[in-house]
Each structure stands twice: as C-alpha cells, then as structure tokens.
Structure 1
Amino acid sequence: MGTKGIRDPYIFRKQDGKFGIVATDMLGTNWGDTSQYIHYWESEDLINFTERLIKVHNRSNMHAWAPEVFYDESRKQYGIYWAGNTDYNRIYVNYTTDFKTVSDCEVFFDPGYDVIDAHIVSDKGMHYLFFKDERASGKSIKVARSSSLSPKSFSVFTPNFITSANTEGPFVFKDKNSDSWYMYVDLFSSNGNFECWKTNDLNALSWTKVTGISVPQGVRHGSVISVNRWELETAVSRKVVTPPAPTPPPVLKGDVNADGTINSSDITVLKRYLLRRITLTEEMLLNADTNGDGAVNSSDFTLLKRYILRR
C-alpha cells in the first residue's frame, strides 16, 4: 500500500483493549520523498491484522514522519501526531475516534526550529514531549512539557541535550517495579545501535546513561507496550494461545443437612446442633465443618452465614 514501504512503527493500546500500530509511509531512505498518508494496523492478538492508509494532510510537497498516538481524555479522541515539513519540520496532529475519519492536521508543537520524532508520556498530571532537535548544532534529544495535551501548549524546559549527539527516535517507559524511567534512543549514524538513559524524575534536566544494554539487530526506532502473559505467548508462538480456565474456588463445606444445596436451612440445622438441640449424622457432621479445621463450632456457623450472605 502507499509507497510500499514503512518506517518508524509505533505500537499502542487502544481504549477498547485492541492494539494499534502507526508507521511512516516511505520506501527506502530517499529523505526527499513525500507522502500524504501514514500506515495503520489494528489487531486483537498481534497475529491477525487489518491494514489501511490514513490521509493526514493535503500538501503535495510534505512528508509525514514517525507518527505516534495519544488518547486525550478531555476530548475523548485519539491524537495522531507526526513530523511534517514546510519551511522546516514541525509536529502536527490529527484527531480521530475510529482511525478512519480524521480531522484536518494542525500544528501541535513548534519551538521555532526544525524538530522531528516526538514522543509523549504522561505522569502525575503532566505531559512530557521528547523530541529530536534537527538543527545542525543539535541532532539530539530535548524535552518539552505541558499540563494539557492541547496543541501548542508544550514548552521546552531542558536547556541542554539529554542524550549523546546523533540520536533520534526516543521512546520512554517506566519500570513497573521502581520509580525509574528509561529512555532508549536510536544512534542513527550507527545503524541499529541504541543508547539508554535513566531518571527518577521526568522534570530532570539531565539523565544518567545506562550501560550494557542490547536490542535486536537492525532495529530502528522503537516503542514499548505492556501486555499480559497470554498476549505475549500468542505473539511469540504466532498462534492464538487460549488462557486456561480459571481455577474454580474450593467447594465450601456447608450442606449440613445433605440435601444438595447450601441455604438458610443449613444455618438453622447448624445452629440447632451448636445449641445441643439435635444430633447430626456422620455425613452431616462432615458437611458442618465448614472451614475444614476438624471441629464443628461457632467459626463454622459464622463462615456459613457469610457465604450465604455473599460476604
């Protein structure tokens, strides 16, 4: 479809739980090529995909590079943001609810100079936009922030670059087991080599470099998404993995009168037994030991009552 080439795939989780992927419509490395479209795929299992092109602008001489997606809760819409060039590259956005019909593009982020490869993460009510400064003096990553996801609301707050020279395609994610945030960046002049940087505060003006990392060979740009065990095993095995049936809860002893049901009659019988008003048969005594501790007493009565009352 389109140019019959893709670059910069970005995967995300939609509000309905499905997976979405957007990517640049570009064949090869002719940076002068343009396209009015981006690629879009959708999947429930990361094996079977539907695909279509999404037209994001109407200009014949502009590209649409490195698209990514956020969900704006205030609008109840997805924002598709990407780098487009007129006199220089800015970050544009289109809004959509279905990835079929999209709004006209508008400028989303423009610090007044050439920028590409925007990536947004949110934390504690603040939104952070990582981007590549494309000027000859830069070619590295800076950060802007905003308390909203509104177009033109982001302001650059890092005075210096937070990664090495010649880095692009930042993607940032939080370690679920700590307060650490990690940022991977593509060393674009080294063909598939990445750097990794770390911080505990997204407002930091400098990050700590992480050593000893590795990524799959030949990877360019990247993204991270959380999946559950079954989604992961399905993707790796390339066949749909059916989750095992949930383990049924243990059978609750409580059919004191052995009539095949557990209801208020069992409470009545157990109460009468504890008050020494009736004698239970051996089977009934076994059923009356509701908590399975080897004795029939008030604890069994309490547990049975709570079970029947669904507490």
Structure 2
Amino acid sequence: MKITERTSFIKIALFVLGSLMLSCQSEKEYYIFTSFREPADEGLYLAYSEDGYHWESLGGPFLPPKVGKSHIMRDPSVVKGPDGTYHMVWTTDWRGGKGFGYASTQDFVDWSEQQFIPAMAHEPDVVNVWAPEIFYDDEEDRYIIIWASTIPFRYEKGEEEERNNHRMYYTTTKDFKDFTPTKLFLEPGFSVIDAVIVKRKKDDYALVLKDNTRPNRNIQVAFGKSPLGPWKDYSEPFSDFLTEGPTVLKDGDKWLIYFDSYGAKTYQAVSTADFKTFTNIDDQISLPEGHKHGTISTVSKEVLDNLKANAKTK
C-alpha cells in the first residue's frame, strides 16, 4: 500500500470510528424517574440518572392533572412502548374515584389530551382506585394495567377496616381506546397494594407488592409464569415497617428495587440477583428531596437535553 493510500485509509478509519463513537453517544439511554409532590395537586415531577443510583431533579410539574374528581396526580407510572411512545397512568382521587388517569408523550414535555379510564365504574361500592401500574407485555403486544381497590365486605380481612381491605385488579389494552373488562388480578388472602410486574425472562415473572395489613405494611415478592399470574411462593418481607411504592430497575446482572420508606420519611433501595436475597444499598443512592412514589424508564440524550431545557424549577 502506498503512503497516500495508507493516509487515506487511516483518515477514513478515523472518520468511521468517530462516527461510531458519536452514534453510540447519541444512542445512550438515561434513566427517568416519575414522581409527585404532596399534596399531589401540582402534577408530574421528574428526576434523571446516568447510572441508576444518583438522581438529579428536573423539577415539575411537567403535566398538571386535569381529570378525576379531585384533580390530583399521585403514583405516576410510565412505560415505554415498542414505538417509542411513553404511556402514563396515575391515581386521580384518594377516595371516591372509580378509575385512573392516562396520557401519552414522546418526550415528557408535550402530552396527549388526558383521559379518565373508568375501570371500576361497574362496582357501585368501590372505595378507591390506587396506584395504577402499567406493564408492556411483549409476548402478547398489549399493555396490562393493575391497581388496588377496596370493595367492602368482598373479601376476608384481618385488622383492617372494611374500607381499607384492598385487592389488585387489572385491565388490558392495545391502543388505549378499547380496554378489556376489569378482572381480579391478585387475591393473596390479605390486603395488598402497590404491585409491580417484572419480567425476568420468558415464562418467568416476579411480582413486587406491598402487604398492606396493619401489622406488616412492608414489601415482599411472589412469582409466576405469566404477567397475569397465578402468583405463588410469597417471600418474607425485605423492607422495613411502613414502606411502599416499589419500582424496579435492571442493572446488569442484578435488579435494583426502589421504594418509599414513608415511616422514616426517606427513599430506600435494595439490590438482588434472584429476588430471594436482598442487599440494602441506601448508602449508594441519592434522590431529590420530596421524591415520592413513581416508576423508572429510560430516555435518549436528545429527550433528556430537551427536558433540561424545559426544566421546571418551581
């Protein structure tokens, strides 16, 4: 190879390498954590992280609540669909609501028109619809939405009041226009809220949930072969008393489970490789002050940069 040819080859190789590096940089995903602030009447707050451990606030609100009787937004749960659209559901009423809120976005700045999904309208005595959690089922190309509701005198209870004896329900949709009839999702024999579906691999799912019975009020795990269960092999609790709102993040060969330790007025996290052994990692994480129950997804650098440019510093 002549010197001129070698020089041209090197220039081309460097150009290709530089292009690949820029491409990899632009394709890098960052974590986004949805949240709200008490008294939950302002709307969606956001935090972001590069490593999944240290979170920086983007402020809020990015989406003021407009649906539901109470016009609040609690427990915002988001999932990214296969087309890149983010779908979000949230609690619209502390008591008296018969459904949940829904909106979609491509960038967390511009949103679709908010909808109220009356998923429990068929239950005249339902007390609430709490903490809807959205999961994309890639096996069936559908979205599964689960939530906790109390229907007095429907189930056995322990020390709970009849209006605080929750079970989990669900509906599914492919387009957020048509929803399947609401069905019972989880009846573990005790009051349960804040359940999160985790796909570990095909036919292998974990369900992270809060035992909401008065003596416990902590977080445990169950297992199933389908995102709709049935769920079995319930674990012992891995969190302290007065903890709730778990969300799960995949980090290499392990999983991080974040949750709201409302008794201690802080956020906590554990790591696990098998959902059987849990290691406290509180000393490895940091979150914005006031951060509350939400879920974690990922965004591109372009989306994150746009969010920073539209950061709400209120």
Give the TM-score normalised by structure 2.
0.69
- Please state how far the C-alpha of 1:74 moved relative to its aligned partner: 4.2
Q: Quick check: 1:34–1:60 contact (8 Å CA) kept in 2?
A: no
Identity %: 30
Structure 2 letter corresponding to 1:153: P
- Please state how far the C-alpha of 1:142 moved relative to its aligned partner: 0.8
Q: How does 1:277-296 map to 2 (within 5 A)?
A: none
Q: Between Structure 1 and Structure 2, whose CA radius of gyration is higher?
A: 1
1:128 has 2:206 as partner: yes
Q: Quick check: 1:46–1:234 contact (8 Å CA) kept in 2?
A: no
Unaligned runs of 5+ in 1: 240-311
Deviates more, 1:162-171 or 1:83-92: 83-92
| Cα displacement string for residues 179-238 of structure 1 (whole angstroms, at most 9, x for unaligned residues) | 1211111012344x1111111223x1x311113222111121121111121121122212
More strand per residue: 1 or 2?
2
- Please state how far the C-alpha of 1:157 moved relative to its aligned partner: 2.9
Q: Quick check: 1:54–1:99 contact (8 Å CA) kept in 2?
A: no
| 1:187 matched residue in structure 2 | 261
| 2:304 matched residue in structure 1 | 232
- Which structure has the higher relative contact order (CA within 8 Å, separation 6+)? 2
Q: 1:39 aligns with which of 101, 108, 118?
A: 101
Q: 2:295 aligns with which of 212, 215, 223?
A: 223
Structure 2 letter corresponding to 1:171: T
Secondary structure, in 3 states, of the residue corresponding to 1:195? strand
- Please state how far the C-alpha of 1:57 moved relative to its aligned partner: 1.2
Inter-partner Cα distance in structure 2 for 1:118 and 1:182: 16
> Where does structure 1 differ by over 4 angstroms across 4 or more consecutive aligned residues?
none
Q: Quick check: 1:121–1:128 contact (8 Å CA) kept in 2?
A: yes
Unaligned runs of 5+ in 2: 1-66, 153-164
| Cα displacement string for residues 19-75 of structure 1 (whole angstroms, at most 9, x for unaligned residues) | 11110012xxxx5x1211211111112110011111111223321110111223443
| 2:270 matched residue in structure 1 | 197
| 2:73 matched residue in structure 1 | 6
Q: 1:148 to 1:38 in 2, by over 3 A?
A: same
1:72 has 2:72 as partner: no
Inter-partner Cα distance in structure 2 for 1:73 and 1:153: 18
Q: RMSD of the TM alignment (CA)?
A: 1.6
Structure 2 letter corresponding to 1:199: T
Inter-partner Cα distance in structure 2 for 1:8 and 1:60: 24
Inter-partner Cα distance in structure 2 for 1:174 and 1:73: 17
Q: How does 1:6-155 map to 2 (within 5 A)?
A: 6-26=73-93, 33-50=95-112, 51-58=114-121, 59-62=123-126, 63-87=128-152, 88-125=165-202, 126-150=204-228, 152-155=229-232
Give the TM-score normalised by structure 1.
0.69
| 2:282 matched residue in structure 1 | 211
| Cα displacement string for residues 233-289 of structure 1 (whole angstroms, at most 9, x for unaligned residues) | 1222129xxxxxxxxxxxxxxxxxxxxxxxxxxxxxxxxxxxxxxxxxxxxxxxxxx
| 2:51 matched residue in structure 1 | none
Q: Quick check: 2:197–2:227 contact (8 Å CA) kept in 1?
A: no
Secondary structure, in 3 states, of the residue corresponding to 1:36? coil
Q: Quick check: 1:121–1:172 contact (8 Å CA) kept in 2?
A: yes
- Please state how far the C-alpha of 1:17 moved relative to its aligned partner: 1.1
Inter-partner Cα distance in structure 2 for 1:72 and 1:199: 23
